[in-house]
Amino acid sequence: MGIDPPLVCTALVCNVAYPLPGKLALLKHHEVITLFHELGHAFHDLLGRSKYATFHGHRTVADFVEAPSQLLEYWCWVPECLQRLSYHYSYLSAGAGEDYECGTSMIHSTRPTKEIPRSLLEKLVEARSINQGILTMRQVAFSSFDLKIHSPPSHEDIKSMDVAEIYNSLLQRTTLLQGPDNDYQWGHGYATTPHYIWGQEANYYSYLYTRILAANMWWSNFHADPMSQEAGLKYRKSILEHGGSQNEQVLLTEFLGGEPTVELYLKYL
């Protein structure tokens, strides 16, 4: 008698908009991006074909693991993809349109079109680069903080380390945004993220590094035709199927047809 293989599944546990009683949960665009980011990890896991579980799917080197998830975010900025993904909630069911009209004022009683207007999506894409410079430098500050607190010269330096001052001074000097006081004791933002202590110590910089890799994969294979089946299959077989079972840098170089460069990420910014 044959034995059925175990059922394999991947679950995403995410924080998204919570619906009010009797209402729908309507995702904001940044929540859609987050969902796609996490789906990138899920696809990496679901499509992995490594022989050993320890190298399966997203179990790659830390300097690469975020690249597939960050790559999937790009589809959230393609107007055609956003139009296929969504439509106005009042068209979800027969009674939804009536509920919408009953819940709006006379000023806004005109029912919106089913599809997101192209003009609205184009404005959304145009606004993508707003504050990206500051947000990127913020990531540089977080990365610098992560490296600094995990590479103290001695045990005595650890005991005397003023973590708040290190964090806030780096954030202020890197982003050029002034804190509320004249010193660096105005907050404990480092305590709001687990990234510095959850097994990726001294590796926060990879979040920026892998964005460079994701940008190279997007511009070299998907930008011209985001829905290309040929490009998708190439990506699946060249990158996703191997997980961490082969040298990720070698796989990426073969997929790109050359070494990744920072210029393509700067172009995106």
Average pLDDT, stretch 193-216? Answer: 90
Asked whether the predicted pLDDT for residue 126 surpasses 60, the reply is yes
How long a stretch of residues is the chain? 269
- Count of domains observed in the chain: 1
CB burial of 217-233 (b: ≥16 within 10 Å; e: otherwise) equals: bbbbbbeeebeeeebee
Give the best-scoring range by mean pLDDT among 49-53, 94-98, 181-185. Answer: 49-53
Asked whether the predicted pLDDT for residue 143 surpasses 50, the reply is yes
98 band by pLDDT with thresholds 50, 70 and 90: low
Q: Is 38 a catalytic residue?
A: yes
**What's the longest Cα–Cα distance across the chain?**
75
7 band by pLDDT with thresholds 50, 70 and 90: confident
Select which of 31, 38, 115, 201 is catalytic: 38
Dist CA 217 CA 226 (whole Å)? 11
Looking at per-residue confidence, does 241 or 186 come out higher? 241
How distant, in Å, are the alpha carbons of 115, 119, 132, 134 from that of 126? 19, 11, 12, 17
Predicted pLDDT of residue 179: 84
Tell me, yes or no, whether 242 lies in a domain.
Answer: no
How distant, in Å, are the alpha carbons of 154, 160, 172, 231, 233 from that of 145? 17, 16, 12, 38, 39
110 band by pLDDT with thresholds 50, 70 and 90: confident
Distance of CA 267 to the CA centre of its chain: 18
Asked whether the predicted pLDDT for residue 90 surpasses 90, the reply is no
Q: Are 39 and 72 in contact (CB under 8 A)?
A: yes
Tell me, yes or no, whether 266 lies in a domain.
Answer: no
Asked whether the predicted pLDDT for residue 198 surpasses 90, the reply is no
Q: Which residue segment(s) compose the domain that 182 sits in?
A: 132-196
The reported pTM is 0.86
Tell me, yes or no, whether 215 lies in a domain.
Answer: no
The Cα angle at residue 192 between residues 186 and 196, in degrees rounded to 5: 110
Tell me, yes or no, whether 172 lies in a domain.
Answer: yes
Tell me, yes or no, whether 187 lies in a domain.
Answer: yes
Dist CA 106 CA 128 (whole Å)? 33
Q: Give the position of tokens 């708040």.
A: 164
Tell me, yes or no, whether 225 lies in a domain.
Answer: no
Predicted pLDDT of residue 107: 53
Tell me, yes or no, whether 216 lies in a domain.
Answer: no
DSSP collapsed to 3 states, 136-172: HHHHHHHHHHHHHHCCCCCHHHHHHCCHHHHHHHHHH
106 band by pLDDT with thresholds 50, 70 and 90: very low
How distant, in Å, are the alpha carbons of 14, 79, 170, 178, 214 from that of 72? 16, 14, 30, 34, 9
Q: Which pair of tokens denotes residue 51?
A: 């022989």
Tell me, yes or no, whether 160 lies in a domain.
Answer: yes
Predicted pLDDT of residue 102: 59
DSSP assignment of 40-85 equals HHHHHHHT---SSGGGSTT-S-TTTTTHHHHHHGGGGG-HHHHHHH
